[in-house]
Amino acid sequence: MKRRFYALSVLLIASLPAFYASAGVWERVYYNDFGGNSASDPHLGPELSQDEKCNDLEYDAQLMNGYLITKYWDEADHLWYNGGDHTFPDNKEVGYFMAVNPDSRDGAVPVYRVKLENLYEGTKLRFTAYVANLTRPDDISASEVPPVLFLGVYNGPEPKIRVAEYTYAMMTIPSDEHDADATSLNWQKMSIEFTLNSDMDFAYFIVGMQNPKANGFDFAIDDISIEMEQSEVTGLLSSNKAGNPSFFEKDGFLLVQNAGGEFSYSISDLTGKAKVSGSTANGLIPVSNLQPGVYLVTIAVNGESHVERILLTGSK
């Protein structure tokens, strides 16, 4: 089963600078290791979803041209490394990765993308992927080109306009520094950190290739993640009693404690558009269908109200 999840945590965010304390805690808001984490899973994994898939890159079980989700490569007609994925590098029986054998194209070509919504100006994010050159050194000729890959964060599904400064990194992935008989791939970490300095509430996180060639340029991708920096802050936007609620994550819910008994609630985005509303006697508010991001939570009890701005770093 594909392992792609959003971890859920909650943070109280103050409306005034006086409420801010220390920062530096990172929470993962997106992760995909492509699944296959059981030995009983088949050798080849499923195709990418339409949201992840880029352009006309097609699933190809023979990997003659396109991409493949696999645990390892074992075909005799390609002199590629037969090592396993990055998640379980010493066990080829578990863990899928994405293998790519492209045709020749010009410019920046997206390979994998994620759209993250409900962002806000000032968010600090980290985008990471692990990549490897599939071609063994003894299969390299003078005409073959090593893969040149990039990470970028953009305002649309194509790698054109970046959302902020320092949202781009490029790497040439060598093969001649790895033992040709190695049983694991020579995984390299690519990562960028940046602060979102625009008022956009979404962004596309793209792993791509630069000027791919049909000769050589064979590579693998695994363990794609997006993290958001959490500030340790307290405070509220407004309060007219309604107890002294605190918020905690519990199995896809917000657990609200000290709200003063049964209460009604609403959760809206920063534009005021309602996302979730209802009432509860056990303090649980369902949030499993919300994407990561910043929301306004209103608690009302007997005519009293309490409004918090919260940061959900995951919802699935």
Specify the pLDDT at position 231.
Answer: 54
Specify the pLDDT at position 21.
Answer: 27
Specify the pLDDT at position 126.
Answer: 93
Find the mean pLDDT for residues 185-206.
88
Specify the pLDDT at position 229.
Answer: 78
Given a contact cutoff of 8 angstroms between Cβ atoms, the answer to whether 168 and 192 are in contact is: yes
Task: Kindly report, residue by residue over 103-112, the tens digit of the pLDDT.
Answer: 999 999 999 9
Specify the pLDDT at position 260.
Answer: 64
CA distances from 140 to 148, 215, 296 (A): 16, 9, 56
Given a contact cutoff of 8 angstroms between Cβ atoms, the answer to whether 311 and 285 are in contact is: no
pLDDT winner (highest mean) among 108-112, 139-143, 291-295, 301-305: 108-112
pLDDT winner (highest mean) among 21-25, 63-67, 125-129: 125-129
- Average model confidence (pLDDT) across the chain: 78
Count Cβ atoms below 10 Å from residue 240 Cβ, excluding itself: 11
Task: Kindly report, residue by residue over 157-171, the tens digit of the pLDDT.
Answer: 999 999 887 899 999
Asked if the domains at 33-231 and 236-312 fall in one CATH topology, the answer is no
What is the token pair recorded at 64?
């003659």
Q: What is the CATH superfamily name and number for domain 33-231?
A: Galactose-binding domain-like (2.60.120.260)
pTM score of the predicted model: 0.73
Task: Kindly report, residue by residue over 42-67, the tens digit of the pLDDT.
Answer: 989 999 988 888 877 899 888 888 99
Per-residue pLDDT band for 131 (boundaries 50, 70, 90) equals very high
What percent of the chain clears pLDDT 70, i.e. is strictly above it? 76
Q: Where are the domains of the chain?
A: 33-231, 236-312
Of 107-116, 123-132, 304-313, minimum mean pLDDT range: 304-313
Which residue matches tokens 């390609």?
A: 78
> In the CATH scheme, what is the code of domain 236-312?
2.60.40.3080
Which residue matches tokens 């340029």?
A: 217
Instruction: Spell out a b/e string for 262-277, using b for 16 or more CB atoms within 10 Å of the CB, else e.
Output: ebebbbebeeeeebbe
Of 125-129, 198-202, 257-261, minimum mean pLDDT range: 257-261
